[in-house]
Amino acid sequence: MTMSIPLRIAQVAPMWESVPPATYGGVERVVSHLTEELVRLGHDVTLFASGDSVTRARLISCSRRAWWRDPLSPGALRESLRAMSEALCDERPFDVVHFHTDYLKFPEWNDYVSRAVTTAHLLNEDGFYDELRWGRPSAFMVSLTKSQASMSSMNWVRTINLGLDDSEVQFNEGQRPEYLAFMGRLSPNKGPERAISIAQRSRLPIKLAGRSDELDGDHFRTVLQPLLTLPGVEYIGEVGGIRKAEFLSNAIALLFPISVPEAFGTIMVEAMACGTPVVGFNEVPVTDVVDGGLTGWIVKGEDEAVEAVAKCVTMDRKAVRRRFEERFTVARMAANYVSLYKDVIHGSKSLLRRDI
């Protein structure tokens, strides 16, 4: 059997978190999974990321550390733009450059547009993507879900679900779940206070993991912090690696009570990889990620969420895990991207949006 020719691929990550992230950071975790799988497949991969990133690919450091960890950093925008500039000016020719920095690199495309792919890790809020095309309708954009692509008129050439390396998660078939879980930024849009309310009404303990950014400070102090003193409520801070896997694996369900649409919600897939069902509010991407009745429940509010939690206690956790293996593995994601890269490189006429 003849081996395929390795591709020279540049992966350009955001600079605000390391690749992979030490704890919280969905985009950076997925970039890490994709990069490492491409290396494993034998491709020549260069990762443009913060200097505290760890990878088997060639690493080009675009900042000393992730910007939010480095008080000397000039900020995410400047660091991301530097990464893009270096990707385009690097002495090594790339067959394809894969941006994970959303619309920030659009001004740099110019003659490079024919070899650049962008995964939109954000929604097209306020029409940002449409406004910043600057006459480049041929920009090759990848959506994470069908719903995300339907929100914009960009040239979506593929819908590719995010995938995770299951070696970082654990599925214990005989696990006896003990509590409800919430994980994510402690901001109003994520709904940690709604998660606490659901747990209290379900008469179940809840553990919350995540961080509060400075922009969420007032909300954390005035709304959330008093709720953390309620019986059965425990805030464990940020967790990553084995601790995150244990946190999710030991949960009856992951609560995902968002109030506004998001692009994907990687934590839902991480929970499913552990066999833990998801109870999510009826917003994008919950409607694209959760298979109602199989991997969790899609609900319209707290009343339905309380009913769904009761159902999660008896759900088949092996079936949840199997569905993860069918839809959200890193091997599946990487294979889909390699197929897209080859179409971009060869100028394939198949670069029309198709669903996966």
- Give the pLDDT score at 138: 54
- Give the pLDDT score at 5: 85
Q: State the average pLDDT over residues 22-33.
A: 82
Q: Are residues 285 and 197 in the same domain?
A: yes
For residue 208, what is the domain's CATH number? 3.40.50.2000
Looking at the chain, the whole-number percentage of residues with pLDDT higher than 70 is 79
**99-143 pLDDT tens trace:** 888 665 554 545 556 788 889 888 766 565 555 554 454 568 899
- Give the pLDDT score at 213: 64
Q: Are residues 319 and 190 in the same domain?
A: yes
Give per-residue burial for 265-300: e unless 16+ CB within 10 Å, then b: bbbbbbbbbbbbbbbbbebbbbbbbbbeeebbbbbe
- Give the pLDDT score at 61: 83
Q: Are residues 226 and 340 in the same domain?
A: no
Q: Are residues 160 and 171 in the same domain?
A: no
Q: Are residues 260 and 180 in the same domain?
A: yes
Q: Which residues contact 24 (CB under 8 A, 6 or more apart)?
A: 17, 184, 185, 210, 211, 238, 240
Is 266 contained in some domain? yes
The count of structural domains within the chain is 2
pTM given for the model: 0.84
**251-271 pLDDT tens trace:** 999 999 999 888 888 899 999
**Which residue range is the domain that position 61 belongs to?**
8-165+330-345
Lowest mean pLDDT among 77-81, 153-157, 221-225: 77-81
Q: Are residues 25 and 125 in the same domain?
A: yes
For residues 206 and 166, the model is more confident at 206
- Give the pLDDT score at 90: 65
